[in-house]
Homo-oligomer: A and B are copies of this chain.
Amino acid sequence: MIHSGAIIGAGIPQFQSITFKKLKSRYDFFRTDRDKRDFVSGGAAAGVAAAFGAPIGGVLFSLEEGCSFWNQKLTWRTFFCSMSATFTLNFFLSGLDDNAWGSFYSPGLINFGVFQCTEEHKTNGSCRLWTAIDLFIFILMGLIGGLLGAIFNHLNKRLTIHRMKHVNTKHFRVKILEALLVAMVTTTVAFVAAMTLGNCKPVPTRLINQTTPNIEDTVRTYFCKDGYYNDMATLFFNSQEEAIKQLFHQEGQFSLQSLSIFFICFFLLACWTYGTQVPSGLFVPCLLCGAAYGRFVSTLLINVIGYDKGIYSGTYSLIGAAAFLGGVVRMTISLTVILIESTNEISYGLPLMLTLMVAKWSGDFFNEGLYDIHIHLKGVPLLEWDTPEGMHKLLARNIMSTDLQFIFSRTRVAVIQRLLKTTRHNAYPVVSITNRGDVSNFSVNQNYDDNEELDPTQIEQTGQVRVMKFEGLILRSQLTTLLKNNIYYEEQSMVSSQPNINYKTLTADYPRYPDIVDIRNDDINNMKFILDVRPYMNTTPYIVYQDTPVPQVFHLFRSMGLRHLPVLDHYGQIHGIITRHNLTHEFLEERQHELNEMEDLTLFRRMHE
């Protein structure tokens, strides 16, 4: 749901399709990266909201996991988006399933049922799903859950690396075969386990709550005699959601043996499945696995240890599910809210939050969350929430990339073309070369000479006889599109003779801008054509000084959602550019040795905040 929500968010507002050329509207306002990012976060939030009936949780999920950039305006929009998603779903579900149009019964696709107090948990009239003493056990469960999650992540990481080496490189049939193998093994395990290791338990007569359908439909008799059910089979042969409900609300017993065996099998199968070439989720399997773990704990406490101060085993299953899922994905605030909303039980706030925080801490002690692991394996430069510890002495000059390729406000088309062909940068700083003090514009001619002998490294060496005065930024996509549309003028003619181009034409090809090699146009090899980028370049990007501490750079970069951040000195001269790649944790950590040992002045900076 999250994934498809994000896809819809990325696709719909474009009002065009690259696959279906026919679908193309003239409305191109949203065809920018920033808007696309925002819509994707909205879509992801809506996905969560619809799946769990958790609109607020969806927003927080999108905030905590999804987007690396966030602004306040986005909060409200995303909230509205996920709210609408929840209630649209709710409207149609209640209409179609219960045929009660206009009433809103079923908030989400996944429904954990109502946590109702059975008689023995009622104390003076009001419900008692958990007590303060339970909290300590929950913390312990969170600790173990984090541990289990860490193991899960470790195994899955090894597996994924192996897959990337041996499976994904092969013919696609291999991938299909793997998926088939997984399916076969899963089924076999389920059948055998249920057949040989399942226990027969009497079916409890009383229904637990109204949300679960008639309990005879959900428990599986499976070779047991009438009035009995096979607990293992009940877990394996129901939909995962149904199985979770069973563990949450089923009054009948699950034997410790069945629970542990089920946990181990399911743990390994889920770990193996995640990453195969099938759209398989992570949330629900982990919840189921964890619910078994939680139910195991409660059963242990009640039956074996005999500690029974009105333990409500449903709560324990829920906490177990949270602990394990939290140990795998390491979410805290958003997962808390999602579970609160999907159980519709606000009083679970504290235990859930405690458990999830402990689970995160104990898990982070060993490795990082599964999402992050896969993001890093895929090599996506996603910015973390914050810089690693002790970075405040590392300066912008230490991490900026200095292999700059300049262009001038007016440059020969041929030069630009060569630049675009020989480099892969997405943005080029526009500079003007002045011997300090010379403010006059250069003649086109001089400009051209400058281009010929332009070599940043050399400039560094020759002790800055000349200043690279920073004028602005121009994007590769802009340059190629300008060349493609013949936006340039001839050397002898006036600058004003350069044709204009409007935003619409400039962004017509978004997001697939033309590649320079695809531009068949003899003019761009001709030395006498000149491009004036001044009308199109960004003359006022955010900039930082060389000595800016990395945390400050990171904060700016992340909050503003930047792509390229020029690094200047106090003379307005550019020395480097910082991109997302320069701010990933890997990169920062390998630059740590450059930490300059000067006395730390950032403390004084705190006074300025």
Please measure, in the bound complex, the distance between the C-alpha atom of A79 and the C-alpha atom of B101, giving whole angstroms.
37
> Judging by beta carbons under 8 Å apart, are B540 and A547 in contact?
yes
Q: Give the contacts of A326-370 with B (CB-CB under 8 A).
A: 332-333, 337, 341, 344, 346-347, 349-350, 353
A494 on interface, CB distance cutoff 8 Å: no
> Judging by beta carbons under 8 Å apart, are B536 and A540 in contact?
no
Partner of A33 from the list B471, B547, B559, B609 (CB cut-off 8 Å) is B609
Q: Smallest CB-CB separation from A599: which chain B residue?
A: B535
Q: Smallest CB-CB separation from A345: which chain B residue?
A: B344
Q: Smallest CB-CB separation from A88: which chain B residue?
A: B350
Residues of B within 8 A of A545 (CB): 539-540
> Judging by beta carbons under 8 Å apart, are A570 and B469 in contact?
yes
> Judging by beta carbons under 8 Å apart, are B540 and A349 in contact?
no
> Judging by beta carbons under 8 Å apart, are B560 and A87 in contact?
no
A608 on interface, CB distance cutoff 8 Å: yes
Partner of A572 from the list B132, B568, B606 (CB cut-off 8 Å) is B568
Partner of A91 from the list B86, B132, B539, B549 (CB cut-off 8 Å) is B132
Least CB distance from A74 to B in Å reads 11
A556 on interface, CB distance cutoff 8 Å: yes
Least CB distance from A238 to B in Å reads 22
> Judging by beta carbons under 8 Å apart, are A609 and B506 in contact?
no
A124 on interface, CB distance cutoff 8 Å: yes
Partner of A102 from the list B105, B132, B506 (CB cut-off 8 Å) is B132
A137 on interface, CB distance cutoff 8 Å: no
> Judging by beta carbons under 8 Å apart, are A540 and B535 in contact?
no
Given the contacts A70-B72, A507-B607, A563-B608, A333 and B549 also touching, CB distance less than 8 Å: no
Please measure, in the bound complex, the distance between the C-alpha atom of A76 and the C-alpha atom of B572, giving whole angstroms.
38
Q: Give the contacts of A545-593 with B (CB-CB under 8 A).
A: 545, 547-549, 552, 555-556, 559-561, 563-564, 568-573
Q: Smallest CB-CB separation from A568: which chain B residue?
A: B572
Q: Give the contacts of A104-125 with B (CB-CB under 8 A).
A: 104-105, 107, 123-125
> Judging by beta carbons under 8 Å apart, are B439 and A350 in contact?
no
Q: Smallest CB-CB separation from A94: which chain B residue?
A: B126
Stretch at the interface among A180-188, A221-229, A473-481: A473-481
> Judging by beta carbons under 8 Å apart, are B101 and A132 in contact?
yes
A528 on interface, CB distance cutoff 8 Å: no
Please measure, in the bound complex, the distance between the C-alpha atom of A83 and the C-alpha atom of B132, giving whole angstroms.
15
> Judging by beta carbons under 8 Å apart, are A385 and B72 in contact?
yes
Please measure, in the bound complex, the distance between the C-alpha atom of A560 and the C-alpha atom of B350, giving whole angstroms.
32
Partner of A571 from the list B132, B133, B469 (CB cut-off 8 Å) is B469
A386 on interface, CB distance cutoff 8 Å: yes
Given the contacts A75-B333, A132-B91, A572-B572, A604 and B538 also touching, CB distance less than 8 Å: yes
Please measure, in the bound complex, the distance between the C-alpha atom of A543 and the C-alpha atom of B573, giving whole angstroms.
14
Residues of B within 8 A of A320 (CB): none
> Judging by beta carbons under 8 Å apart, are B344 and A34 in contact?
no
Residues of B within 8 A of A605 (CB): 538, 540
Given the contacts A72-B70, A123-B103, A131-B102, A608 and B473 also touching, CB distance less than 8 Å: yes
Q: Contact mask A43-70 → B, CB, 8 Å, 1/0?
A: 0000000000101100000010000001
Residues of B within 8 A of A475 (CB): 607-608
A503 on interface, CB distance cutoff 8 Å: yes
Residues of A participating in the B interface, judged by any CB pair closer than 8 Å:
32-34, 53, 55-56, 63, 70-73, 75-76, 79-80, 83, 86-87, 91, 98, 100-105, 107, 123-126, 128, 130-133, 210, 332-333, 337, 341, 344, 346-347, 349-350, 353, 385-386, 427, 435-437, 439, 469-471, 473, 475, 477-478, 503, 506-507, 535-536, 538-545, 547-549, 552, 555-556, 559-561, 563-564, 568-573, 601, 603-609
The 9 closest A-B pairs by CB, nearest first: A102-B132, A437-B437, A436-B437, A34-B609, A572-B572, A540-B548, A503-B603, A559-B559, A87-B350
A-B contacts besides A55-B349, A63-B72, A540-B548, 20 pairs, CB < 8 Å: A32-B609, A53-B346, A75-B333, A79-B333, A83-B353, A98-B126, A100-B123, A102-B133, A103-B123, A104-B350, A107-B347, A126-B210, A437-B437, A473-B608, A475-B607, A540-B545, A541-B608, A542-B542, A556-B556, A572-B573
